[in-house]
Each structure stands twice: as C-alpha cells, then as structure tokens.
Structure 1
Amino acid sequence: MTNAEAYDRGFAHLSSHTVGHLLAPARQSRARRLLDVGCGTGVVTAAALALGAEVTAVDSDPVMLELLARRHPYATIRRAALPELPFEDRGFDCVAGNFVINHVTDAPAALGELRRVLRPGGTLALSWWKSDEMTATSVFTEAIAASGVPYDPPARPFSAHDTPPLFTALLKGAGFREAAVEAVRWRHQVDVAAWWTDVVEVGGPRFGMIGFQPPEVVRRIRAEYARLAAPYERDGFPVCAYLARAVR
C-alpha cells in the first residue's frame, strides 16, 4: 500500500494536468456512466463528478480508496485491478484511466476487459508517461546512480507497447475503432524539496527503496537530487505524457 496523503500531494498533482484531455470524450458525448479505472486519490473522479457523470471509481489500493471515499461520497467505489473488473458487460458509456495502463502486466488483456465493460459506441481514454521525457522522476533515478548506491529499477512490461504506433496497433487489435494517440507536454512546477519528500514518502516499487537506506545514504542521494533538480526550480520539470482515445 502507498502513502495516500503523500501521493495526493505529489503524484496526483503531477497527473492532474492530463485530466481535462482525458475527459474530453466524456464531455463531448455527455457520458452518463463513467468508469475511473486506477483512480488513485480521485483527480479524475472529482472532475467527472463536476461534469455531472455517474462515476464508478476503481483502484487496487484500499488506502487510496478510503481517502477518495471521504472526499467523494457520491462516487461508487470498488476495489479491483485490471485485467479483471467486477462489472457487467457494456455497463459504462466512458472509461478513463489516468496513468494506470503503464502499470498493468498484461496490456492486451486489460484493453480487452475495458472494451468488455464499455457499451457499443462508448469511449476509452488512457494516459501514460513518455519515459524519456519524464524529468520529474528520472531525476531520482539519476540521483541514486550519482550517489553510488546499487539500484536495479523494476522492469517496465509496458515498454513493449508505449509508443503511439505500438499502442494504436494494440487498441485496434483489441477491437477498438478510431484509435489515436497524442503527446501532451508541460512543466511540472513544484517546490523541489517538497517533491523529494512526497516521492520518497509514497514508497512504491521504483523509489521506495530510498526510504529504506541508512540515514547517511539517504543524505547522499538527497544531495545529488538537490544538485540535479536545481536547474528546474524556477520553471519546473519538463514532462510528457501520451494520451490515447478510442471508441468501442
């Protein structure tokens, strides 16, 4: 389980930039029943509720869901994870997943499941990070390496599908129509000291190891992070995400 409060302060703020793009199909179609898959602490859920949608929010982390339930009592909240969802066929008008498809181990199976729960003509919108333009997190990887700490980052199964042509082909192979992928770039403006705290406190498979190091090692990594992050303090970290849309 993650530290939901730290996630909400840090990664949820970072990922909120894509919410408007992600919900564009729901706005255009006036989707009534929306599934927020991999909801986290609820940045998509909050925006979809504001549009007047009936939102069902799904995540695998009970701590995230508890925080979301306190904030959004009018959302239907279920604990579940791709590629298996506890919903009937064709039950949603729109599915939105903000930075969740890149965490699933079987992307083709996940897309098949998302197609199953969409009605014919329903829309799908998914986002994921462009890993080589993700300075906000790569600065941590670089800081660990510069500190001399042995580090074997977790494998990224989604890298087999993470370019626009590859993911477009995956969507078409899953039976979706009108598949398209676009890049969205922005600067993540944040206090770099607060960003360090929030990322390290979240834990998780990629950078949670920092918090388990001896204090002197943590200080060494943090010093390298401060050096590497300093050039971005004024204008923010440059980041890029891909946004995919398709129709069932």
Structure 2
Amino acid sequence: MAQTAFDKSERRTWAGQADAYAASFAKLCAYPVPALLRAAEVREGARVLDVGTGTGTAAAAACERGAKVTAVDAEPGMVARAAQAAPEADVRLAALPRLPFADDAFDAVVGNFVLNHVGRPRETLKELRRVTRPGGRIAVTIWQVPPAAGQALLGRAVQRAGVARPAHLPALAPEDDFPRTEQGFVALLGEAGLLNGVCDPLVWGHRTTREEWWSGAAAGVATIGQIVTSQPPGVIAEIKEHFDSLCAEFADPDGVLVLPHAALIAHGQV
C-alpha cells in the first residue's frame, strides 16, 4: 500500500531529528514502556518486534527481559540511536505500512506512539497482526484526545500567537482517523482483527525544564516543532513569550515543570 500524504509529511518532519528528539521529548515518550511490555507479555526467549522504535527505549527494555528483539524505524538517525541503546537487538530501517518480515514471525509486537505517526492506523494494525503468530499479543500506545494540560502547553502558546497549522503539514484523512478514546481505541483493534481488545488510560506528570521542553519545538521536532519553525523569527519570539508565560501554571517551587500527560495503552491477541 502506498504512503499517504500524511505519511510523507511525517518522513519529512522527522528527518534528521533523532538527536533533538533525544534531548527533548524522548524521556516523556519512554514513560509507558514498562506497561507496554507487560501488556504484550514480553518475556525471556520471546521473539519481539518493536515497531517505530525511535531512540530504542522499548527495544532495550525488552532485551533486559531476555527477549529476542527486532526493532525498526523509518528514520536512519533513530535506527543508529536505537542500535546503540539496544546492542543486542536486530535494529533495521523500515517504514510502515509494510514491514519486511514473514507472516507469524513474532510472538509479540509493541508500538509506542507509532500509531500517532502513520497515515492509515487500521492498515498498520493489520500489518502488525500479519507478522504476529496466532495467539501472540500486540500492544500499542497513542496520545489521548483531547490532550492533557501539559501536552497542550506548546499548542496553547502557538494559538495565543495566532498561528494556524501550515498547509504543508496535512492532517490525518478523516476516513483514516478514529476516536482517541478508550472505546475508540478498542474498536480500532477489533477492526484490525485483534481479539480480546483492552484499553487503559495512563496518566502521569512529566518532569522537565522550560529550556528542555522548548528545545524540541525550537528544533522542529514533531508536528508542533514544524509549526513553530515554519514561522518568521518575530512570530517564533512571540510564541516563546506566550510559552514562558504559560509555564508558570506548571512550575513547582524549584522551577521544574510538571506537565500532566495522558496516553492510552491498548492490547489485543492475534
């Protein structure tokens, strides 16, 4: 299946961003990994695929459990970082919606937020099901919608500056989207043919600094970063002013930001 306009935009968005992501948003995205591995029943000797591995956090954690881990990502910089983080894993360059593996190749598949970055989430889950053996488990995470207050911080700063999403960053096609709720996520798993689908919310306060959080946006990481960096310097400065003002809502007495985030973790059986 051909890549969508959304898929192509994601490839451009993440090109060359591995280091900036590792220095900003990677620690946030690592939080669900223990729960993700538990949901997929990753254990010693299991053949595990970590799809959209990013900097390799889930792959490394699965290796620590004694699993036989394969990890893939569409961005070469991420592949290089993941290979360093999980030297025992087989880390490869590969892009959804098609994976270079045989049917039934894995006992478990995990995808940490990868469904947020694909143009056809249903087809992606069907592909993950294809490479998972009968009886195997698939566990995936997405960001909840509407977002928690901490997740919305950068977006609020952008809105206060009067900035709209640029045309070169296409949104997911309506026919490919799904409700980012517990019920909507379970329904998506069922539509992809997974059995016994379960979804649980995951809520936490991410501790970071103002400088670290702004650095991701300032470097163009993710969609929010692409929105920020596509603006003229004066507008970027205005966004930064609004960001600094809004940070006061989340700062503890020491000035550390505690940003509430909410994700959904779902799992099903093949």
Given the alignment, which residue of 213, 219, 236 partners 1:218? 236
2:219 counterpart of 1:201: yes
Is there any run of 5+ residues in structure 2 with no aligned partner, and where? 1-14
Which residue matches 1:165? Answer: 183
SS of residue in 1 equivalent to 2:180: coil
Partner AA of 1:240 in structure 2: A
Question: Do the aligned partners of 2:20 and 2:221 also contact (CA within 8 Å) in 1?
Answer: no
Could you tell me which residue of structure 2 aligns to residue 56 of structure 1?
Answer: 70
Q: Is contact 1:57–1:76 with CA below 8 Å preserved after alignment?
A: yes
- More displaced stretch, 81-90 vs 192-201: 192-201
1:143 to 1:154, Cα distance in 2 relative to 1, 3 A: farther
2:113 corresponds to 1:95:
no
CA separation in 2, counterparts of 1:85 and 1:216? 43
Instruction: Return the offset for 1:27.
Output: 4.4
How has the CA–CA distance of structure 1 residues 150 and 182 changed in structure 2, closer, same or farther, with 3 Å as cutoff? Answer: closer
Residues in 1 aligned to 2:227 and 2:39: alpha-carbon distance in whole angstroms: 38
Measure the CA separation in 2 of the matches of 1:53 and 1:198: 32
Matched, 1:177 2:195: yes
Partner of 2:128: 114
Alpha-carbon shift at residue 185 of structure 1 (Å): 0.3
Question: Aligned pair 1:18/2:29, yes or no?
Answer: no
Hey, what does 1:239 align to over in structure 2?
261
AA in 2 matched with 1:215: P
Q: Does 1:229 align with 2:247?
A: yes
Measured against aligned partners, the alpha-carbon deviations of 1:201-248 in whole angstroms (never above 9, x if no partner) come to: 143433223224333222111000111122112261111000001111
Aligned residues: 248
**Against the structure 1 CA distance between its residues 197 and 128, is the aligned structure 2 distance closer, same or farther, given a 3 Å change threshold?**
same
Query: Structure 1 stretch 160-169 or stretch 146-155: which is displaced more?
Result: 146-155
Letter in 1 for 2:66: G
Match of 1:37 among 44, 51, 57: 51
Code of the residue aligned with 1:171 in structure 2: it is L
Local SS of the residue matching 1:111: helix
What is the TM-score of this pair, normalised by structure 1?
Answer: 0.92
Q: Percent identity?
A: 36
TM-score normalised by length of structure 2: 0.85
Partners of 2:221 and 2:61 in 1: how far apart? 26
For the 8 Å contact 2:161–2:238, the answer to whether it is kept is: yes
Unaligned runs of 5+ in 1: none
Give the AA of the match of 1:184: L
* Residues 33-68 of structure 1: per-residue CA shift (max 9 Å, x gap): 100001001110111111111111111111111122
Q: Structure 1 residues 204, 186: CA separation in 2 closer, same or farther (over 3 Å shift)?
A: closer
> What SS does the corresponding residue of 2:87 show, helix, strand or coil?
coil
Alignment match, 2:118: 104
Paired residues of 2:57 and 2:85 also in contact (CA < 8 A): no
Select between 166-175 and 99-108 the one with higher mean Cα deviation: 166-175
SS at match of 1:46: helix
Aligned residue identity for 2:38: A
Considering only aligned residues, what root-mean-square deviation do their CA atoms show, in Å?
2.0
Contact kept? 2:147, 2:261, Cα under 8 Å: yes
Q: Is the 8 A contact 1:57 1:78 kept in 2?
A: yes
